[in-house]
């Protein structure tokens, strides 16, 4: 509590009276005794001031980094502690006050730790190039600015110490300073003129490091001269080099561009010493072509060889027109082969195939102007001797003059009324040659009258024109009027008839009083219960005497039956029946499956500016499975899937299992967009009892 100054002032006045006080403001004696309750004169008495000897310590003072309770709150500031007793407090920059080895001024160690609290470990402790090695550790990274340089790196051919062993690889040196190292395929690092891009010199050395000197630098024939020196024009011949005396050997021995000069008498390039058999005739030498002239032109000791290829004694120059066939020459006799056998330039007319049928007159072609006539040909139905046997076959002759031959299908060449396509006569004969007598020309019932003569039922001997007409259901006299008793249609079924099963439709009780055959039955739907879908197509076989239908609802049904007999008589009947629901029928049990969720990441990505964008999640196609649904009675059931929102697309909704498509959706990065769709499966059995079940599908587009 701060004390009042008035009592102190009174005491001071008394002291002035006793001891004497200055009499004016300019007096030098301004001293007074300290306040015994506030010795440091900081305005706080000893009861409040936790250190009354230090004016900087009192309640409300600002805490200094001195490990003292400057503001008298009972403890120094939290940053004024030295927990690790290393002589440095947190407020003095100790960045790890739990570790005495870490403090400002500490020596940096090779440990990756900021030992001196400078804000980062020493650069020699860091792996600046992120290659797994630092300079201060062994093995040391000798260049921490290049990730390709470290103790485990492979040496490259670049003159740099990649593996930090103190020197580049021995093959990285360029001792001759030609710009190429040994590892760069310098095959002689002691010669500056030898490297991969050097120009080959005529010195027998592999100057360009290709693996061998150029072939022009080699003396292949061992005559002491090379091609590159210009002194050997053929390094495969030891007798050829510049200055060598010319020999008669077919070579340019002295490399002057001429062969055997001075040794070829006729100047044809061939000397006698190399095979010229007539060195005075330039047209005769080993390189000349043989011609048909009685001379050995090519000096092979044979005359005109190759001009009598077939060895028949005649050469081409003697007129052999086919020197590959010994039977053809000017002395041969013509044969029937359509060839100029005697080489006179003509093929005899009788050897020629003028009509192109591959047969000539000399080969017994009886008409070389008709390509349908030649020996061995198959006879054609044309009245001509096609096979040249001097005979026209009898079946090619039209004996009755009706324009048709036997070989053309005339089945009776003695009658001009009979031929293929002729009009049938009512004569019990095959007039049109189709292999059969028409049915209407046959008296099948032996009543003496053909159908073509007016018998209107040739299977019944009591029916023919002129017969007595009796009441038997037939047109006995074929006058078009039938005295008939119509049939009787009887439609029946078996009762009781239950839904969910088949109900018989029985017309077997129908009959003909005249004893005729019932030829047709026709069932039709006449009445059905309301909402029933039964129609004529629901009848299994509407033309059968006995058939059935499958009802889809209980109730009253009516079916008509129409029957007809063999002579056209008809009658109708109607069957009315009630379809009942079986007692104790149970409804079906619908099972739409379990609810489920489908989460799909949108595939968000950042652009070059760091902005996130997310593509829309696509349309989702999934399956709905109601296959576990069932009907306890085994009744036929119908299925129908539906979706309340109408935004989903259902495929084959009338099946127990189906496929749906859920719409795509958009989202943003870090957010999710969801939609829940409820699908309902409705089931109904044929007695009309039903059940339904629903399944919920949640589609979530995840913004990531």
User: Please, are residues 678 and 648 in contact by the beta-carbon 8 Å criterion?
Assistant: no
Q: Are 373 and 385 in contact (CB under 8 A)?
A: yes
Q: How far apart are CA 479 and CA 495, in angstroms?
A: 47
Examine the pLDDT at 253 and tell me if it is beyond 50.
Answer: yes
Residue with tokens 């039209």: 398
Distances (CA, A) of 447 to 208, 312, 476, 654: 122, 91, 12, 66
In 3D space, the residue among 640, 633, 683 whose CA is nearest the CA of residue 498 turns out to be 633
Please check whether the domain covering 596-702 is classified as CATH 2.60.40.10: yes
Closest CA to 65 of 50, 78, 84: 78
pLDDT > 70? residue 12:
no
Taking 60 as the threshold, does the pLDDT of residue 13 lie above it? no
Residue of higher predicted confidence among 453 and 18: 453
- Please state, in angstroms and rounded to a whole number, the distance separating the CA atoms of residues 224 and 306: 46
Cα Rg, the chain, nearest whole Å: 66
C-alpha span between 677 and 656 (Å, rounded): 18
CB-neighbour burial class of residue 592 (10 A; exposed 0-12, middle 13-18, buried 19+): buried
Q: 497-580 adopts what CATH topology?
A: Immunoglobulin-like (2.60.40)
* Contact of 39 with 53, CB cutoff 8 Å: yes
- Per the CB < 8 A criterion, the answer to whether 662 and 677 are in contact is yes
DSSP 246-288: P-SSSS-TTSSS-SSTTS-TTSSS--GGGT-S-TT-TT-STTS
Phi, psi of 50 (to 5 degrees): -80, -10
What pLDDT, on the 0 to 100 scale, is given for residue 483?
67
Per cent of the chain over pLDDT 90 is 19
Do residues 172 and 159 touch, judged by C-beta distance below 8 A?
Answer: yes
How does pLDDT run across 574-614, given as a tens digit for each residue? 999 988 877 778 899 999 999 999 998 988 898 888 888 89
Residue 612 bridge partners (DSSP) = 606
Which pLDDT score is estimated for 100?
Answer: 78
Share of the chain above pLDDT 70, in %: 94
Tokens standing for 235?
């390094």
pLDDT in the model for residue 388: 87
Q: What are phi and psi of 318, to 5 degrees?
A: -100, 5
Cα separation, 220 vs 234, in Å, equals: 9
CA torsion 169→174→180→185, rounded to 10°? -50
Q: What is the pLDDT of residue 33?
A: 64
- Is the Cβ–Cβ distance between 543 and 567 less than 8 Å? no
| pTM metric for this prediction | 0.29
Residue-wise burial string across 535-567, b where 16 or more C-beta atoms lie within 10 A, e elsewhere: eeebbeebeebebbbebbbbbebebbbbbbbbb
Tokens at 539, concatenated: 């009848």
Helix (H, G, I), strand (E, B) or coil at 456: coil
Residue 77 is encoded by which pair of tokens? 């500031």
Q: Which residue has the tokens 């699908």?
A: 679
From residue 420, how far is each of 380, 406, 410 by CA, in Å?
18, 10, 6
Tell me, what DSSP letter sits at residue 692? E
The pLDDT of residue 526 is above 90: yes
Give the Cβ contact number of residue 244 at 10 Å: 20
As to burial, measured by CB atoms within 10 angstroms (0-12 exposed, 13-18 middle, 19+ buried), residue 262 is: exposed
Residues of the chain with CATH 2.60.40.10: 497-580, 596-702
Q: Model confidence at 18, in pLDDT bands (50, 70, 90)? A: very low
Q: Is residue 463 pLDDT above 60, yes or no? A: yes
630 backbone φψ class: left, alpha, beta (φ>0; ψ -120 to 50): beta
- Residue 660: helix, strand or coil by DSSP? strand
pLDDT for the residue numbered 32:
56
pLDDT in the model for residue 181: 85
pLDDT tens readout for residues 74-119:
788 777 787 877 778 888 777 887 887 888 877 777 877 877 788 7
Question: DSSP assignment, residue 102?
Answer: -
| 625, β-bridge pairs | 657
Res. 471 pLDDT band, cuts 50 70 90:
low
Distance of CA 341 to the CA centre of its chain: 67
What residues contact residue 208 under an 8 Å CB cut-off, 6+ apart? 195, 196, 197, 198, 199, 200
Q: Which of 668, 660, 650, 677 is nearest to 605 (CA)?
A: 668
pLDDT tens for each residue of 335-394: 888 787 888 888 888 878 788 878 888 878 788 788 888 888 888 888 888 888 888 888
377-408 pLDDT, tens per residue?
Answer: 888 888 888 888 888 888 878 888 888 988 88
Q: Which of 669, 667, 690 is nearest to 680 (CA)?
A: 690
Average pLDDT, the chain: 82
Q: How far apart are the first and last CA of the chain?
A: 66
In this structure, the dihedral spanned by the alpha carbons of residues 218, 222, 224 and 230, taken in order and rounded to 10 degrees, is -50
Phi then psi for residue 446, to 5 deg, are 55, 40
Q: Beta 497-498 vs 570-580: how paired, if at all?
A: parallel
- The yes-or-no verdict on residue 203 having pLDDT over 50 is yes
pLDDT at res. 380:
84
């Amino acid at each position: 509590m701060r004390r009042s100054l008035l009592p102190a002032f009174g005491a001071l006045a008394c002291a002035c009276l006793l001891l004497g006080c200055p009499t004016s403001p300019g007096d030098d004696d301004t001293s007074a005794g300290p306040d015994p309750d506030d010795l440091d004169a900081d305005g706080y008495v000893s009861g409040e001031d936790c250190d009354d000897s230090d004016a900087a310590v009192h309640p409300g003072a600002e805490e200094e980094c001195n490990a003292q309770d400057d503001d008298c709150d009972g403890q120094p500031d939290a940053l004024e502690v030295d927990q690790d007793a290393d002589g440095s407090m947190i407020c003095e920059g100790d960045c790890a006050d739990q570790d005495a080895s870490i403090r400002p001024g500490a020596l940096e160690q090779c440990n990756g730790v900021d030992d001196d609290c400078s804000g980062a470990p020493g650069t020699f402790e860091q792996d600046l190039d992120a290659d797994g090695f630092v300079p201060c550790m062994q093995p040391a990274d000798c260049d921490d600015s290049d990730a390709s340089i470290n103790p485990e790196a492979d040496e490259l051919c670049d003159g740099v110490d990649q593996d930090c062993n103190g020197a580049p690889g021995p093959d990285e040196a360029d001792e001759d300073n030609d710009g190429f190292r040994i590892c760069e395929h310098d095959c002689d690092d002691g010669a500056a003129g030898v490297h991969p891009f050097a120009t080959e010199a005529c010195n027998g050395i592999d100057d360009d490091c290709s693996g061998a000197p150029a072939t022009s630098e080699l003396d292949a024939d061992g005559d002491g001269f090379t091609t590159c020196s210009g002194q050997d024009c053929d390094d495969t011949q030891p007798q050829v080099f510049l200055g060598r005396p010319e020999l008669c050997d077919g070579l340019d021995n002295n490399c002057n561009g001429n062969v055997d000069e001075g040794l070829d008498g006729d100047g044809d390039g061939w000397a006698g010493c190399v095979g010229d058999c007539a060195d005075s005739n330039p047209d005769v030498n080993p390189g000349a072509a043989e011609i048909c002239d009685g001379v050995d032109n090519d000096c092979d000791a044979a005359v005109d060889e190759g001009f009598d290829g077939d060895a028949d004694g005649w050469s081409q120059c003697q007129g052999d027109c086919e020197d590959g066939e010994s039977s053809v020459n000017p002395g041969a006799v013509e044969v029937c082969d359509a060839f100029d056998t005697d080489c006179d330039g003509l093929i005899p007319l009788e050897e020629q195939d003028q009509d192109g049928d591959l047969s000539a007159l000399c080969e017994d072609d009886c008409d070389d102007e008709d390509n349908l006539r030649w020996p061995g040909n198959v006879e054609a139905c044309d009245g001509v001797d096609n096979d040249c046997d001097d005979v026209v076959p009898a079946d090619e002759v039209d004996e009755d003059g009706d324009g048709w031959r036997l070989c053309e299908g005339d089945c009776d060449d003695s009658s001009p009324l009979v031929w293929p396509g002729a009009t049938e006569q009512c004569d019990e004969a095959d007039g049109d040659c189709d292999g059969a007598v028409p049915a209407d020309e046959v008296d099948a019932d032996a009543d003496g009258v053909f159908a073509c003569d007016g018998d209107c039922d040739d299977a019944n001997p009591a029916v023919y024109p002129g017969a007595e007409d009796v009441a038997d259901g037939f047109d006995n006299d074929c006058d078009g009027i039938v005295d008939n008793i119509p049939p009787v249609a009887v439609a029946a079924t078996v009762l009781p008839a239950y839904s969910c099963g088949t109900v018989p439709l029985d017309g077997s009780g129908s009959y003909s009083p005249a004893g005729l055959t019932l030829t047709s039955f026709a069932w039709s739907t006449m009445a059905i219960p309301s909402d029933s879908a039964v129609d004529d197509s629901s009848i299994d076989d509407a033309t059968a005497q006995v058939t059935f239908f499958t009802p889809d609802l209980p109730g009253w049904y009516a079916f008509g039956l129409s029957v007809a007999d063999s002579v056209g008589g008809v009658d109708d009947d109607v069957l009315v029946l009630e379809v009942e629901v079986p007692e104790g029928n149970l409804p079906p049990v619908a099972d739409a499956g379990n609810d489920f969720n489908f989460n799909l990441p949108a595939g968000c990505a950042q652009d070059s500016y760091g902005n996130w964008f997310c593509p829309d999640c696509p349309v989702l196609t999934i399956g709905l499975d109601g296959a576990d649904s069932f009907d306890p009675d085994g009744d036929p059931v119908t299925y129908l899937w539906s979706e309340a929102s109408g935004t989903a697309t259902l495929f084959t909704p009338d099946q127990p299992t189906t496929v749906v498509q859920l719409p795509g959706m958009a989202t943003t990065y870090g957010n999710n967009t969801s939609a829940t769709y409820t699908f309902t499966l409705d089931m109904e059995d044929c007695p009309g009892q039903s059940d339904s079940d629903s399944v919920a599908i949640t589609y979530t587009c995840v913004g990531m």
